[in-house]
Amino acid sequence: MASLFSSITIRGVSFPNRIAVSPLCMYSAIEGMAQPFHFAHLSTFARGKAGLIFTEAIAVEPVGRITPHCLGIWSDAQVEALRPITAFIDEMGCVPAIQLAHAGRKASTAAAFLGGKPLPHDDPQAWQVVGPSAVAAGPGFPVPHELSVEEIQELIHAFASAAERSIEAGFKVIELHGAHGYLVNSFLSPISNLRTDAYGGDIHGRMRFALEITRATRAAVGEDIPLFFRISAVDGGEGGWSMDDSVVLATELGKCGIDVVDCSSGGISGAPRFRADDEGKPLDKNSARMPGFQVPYAERIRNETDLMSMAVGVIVDPHQAEEIIQNGRADFAALGREIMYDPFWPLHAAEKLGVDPDFKMWPKQYGWAVDRRSQIITLNRQS
């Protein structure tokens, strides 16, 4: 049995394998509500049998959406719209997971497939963005409103309420989005957080928001729910957040109830993700194309803390994913673009690794017929 297809139990939840669908924004919601597209999108991965299926970043309040067409979970109606999705993922034997997010100073933009730029301030759909300090994410980005301590407390409450709603919607795993330059990440990084109060200053001040959200989320969902936290392991910019900082953060997150650290990188300056060394200095601008370029981050978190980790970033080949899990470099391998290209990647990987020669892992509605197909191909080859 390949390690990639070994099951694992975390708190009250069992995962059938180590393959995760990474959070993938679809920019297709209306008023934050899931649409038939979201059901079709996420249910396909369930038929493909990824063990852990994350939704896209789902905003805890309206101004926390990346675009006007991102999903939200601030209302009961939004919970109802998500319920058929979690029910179907469950029915397929996979684990439905939600990524809770706030886009902070990188909110109010156009969809990635429309260019992803900040909406012009006179666009009727644009809104005032917020952040730890009045520092824009980059050229062309708006200057955020600096959050007051009272507003920070309200946001912590918004994350906890969203976590409660997530459980009502049927999610079994919650991930807090602390990466890619969005709100939580922007509190962590010294590039975007220039505060001098309790939520800024040294690393402990800058971590406070992330840790308070985590504690509030754990208190809201109880002890049976696995909690993941996505980090940008390094900013990739001069003087930014480093891998050593990530180890400190992960250790503190563990004390607040996080089980798994999902290791991504970059995004604080609006720049694309790329590989950086431990001090956060970029290696070269093309390294984000290298297979498994972020695996070393997940490996360090797993080795240097008591937590589990998830690796992500150009994981494309079943043998590559198997090597990551088998050698204990991460506990989960998350796929984004590759699983969009082939939503049945886990089933194809099981076939390639010799784990499922008789197509027993496939949904029963497909497995018997796909097995016949395989026999016909073999017979035709022999004749």
Ligand X SMILES: Cc1cc2nc3c(=O)[nH]c(=O)nc-3n(C[C@H](O)[C@H](O)[C@H](O)COP(=O)(O)O)c2cc1C
Name the catalytic one among 182, 297, 341, 366: 182
Question: CB burial class (10 A; 0-12, 13-18, 19+) of residue 257?
Answer: buried
- Catalytic (active site) residue 182: yes
From 127-135, 214-222, 247-255, 311-319, span contacting ligand X (CB under 6 A): 311-319
Q: Say if residues 292 and 312 touch (Cβ distance below 8 Å).
A: no
Residue 264 interacts with ligand X (CB under 6 A): yes or no: yes
Q: Which two tokens stand for residue 383?
A: 């004749």
Residue 56 interacts with ligand X (CB under 6 A): yes or no: yes
From 213-221, 306-314, 357-365, 367-375, span contacting ligand X (CB under 6 A): 306-314
Cβ closer to ligand X: 43 or 265?
265
Give the Cα separation of 161 and 74 in Å (integer): 8
Q: In whole angstroms, how close is the CB of 296 to ligand X at the nearest point?
A: 15
Residue 63 CA, chain-centre distance (Å), reads: 19
Residue 321 interacts with ligand X (CB under 6 A): yes or no: no
From candidates 2, 15, 23, 137, binder to ligand X by CB under 6 A: 23
**DSSP β-bridge partners for residue 13:** 10
Q: In whole angstroms, how close is the CB of 65 to ligand X at the nearest point?
A: 11
Residue number of the CB closest to ligand X reads: 336
Helix or strand or coil: residue 143? coil
Q: In whole angstroms, how close is the CB of 103 to ligand X at the nearest point?
A: 10
Question: CB burial class (10 A; 0-12, 13-18, 19+) of residue 285?
Answer: exposed
Cβ closer to ligand X: 159 or 359?
159
Residue 25 interacts with ligand X (CB under 6 A): yes or no: yes
How many amino acids of this chain bind ligand X (CB under 6 A)? Answer: 20
Residue 265 interacts with ligand X (CB under 6 A): yes or no: no
Residue 102 interacts with ligand X (CB under 6 A): yes or no: no
Residue 179 interacts with ligand X (CB under 6 A): yes or no: yes
Give the Cα separation of 125 and 123 in Å (integer): 5
Cβ closer to ligand X: 210 or 315?
315
Residue 110 interacts with ligand X (CB under 6 A): yes or no: no
Q: Say if residues 162 and 168 touch (Cβ distance below 8 Å).
A: no
Q: What is the DSSP string of 27-92?
A: ---BTTB--HHHHHHHHHHHHTT-SEEEEEEEESSGGG-SSTTS-B-SSHHHHHHHHHHHHHHHHT
Q: Say if residues 103 and 64 touch (Cβ distance below 8 Å).
A: yes
- Beta-carbon count within 10 A of 272 CB: 10
Q: In whole angstroms, how close is the CB of 267 to ligand X at the nearest point?
A: 9
Residue 177 interacts with ligand X (CB under 6 A): yes or no: yes
Residue 99 interacts with ligand X (CB under 6 A): yes or no: yes
Q: In whole angstroms, how close is the CB of 68 to ligand X at the nearest point?
A: 15
From 16-24, 79-87, 163-171, 186-194, span contacting ligand X (CB under 6 A): 16-24
**DSSP β-bridge partners for residue 59:** 72, 101
Chain residues binding ligand X by CB under 6 A are: 22-25, 56-57, 99, 177, 179-180, 230, 264, 312-315, 335-338
Residues designated catalytic: 182
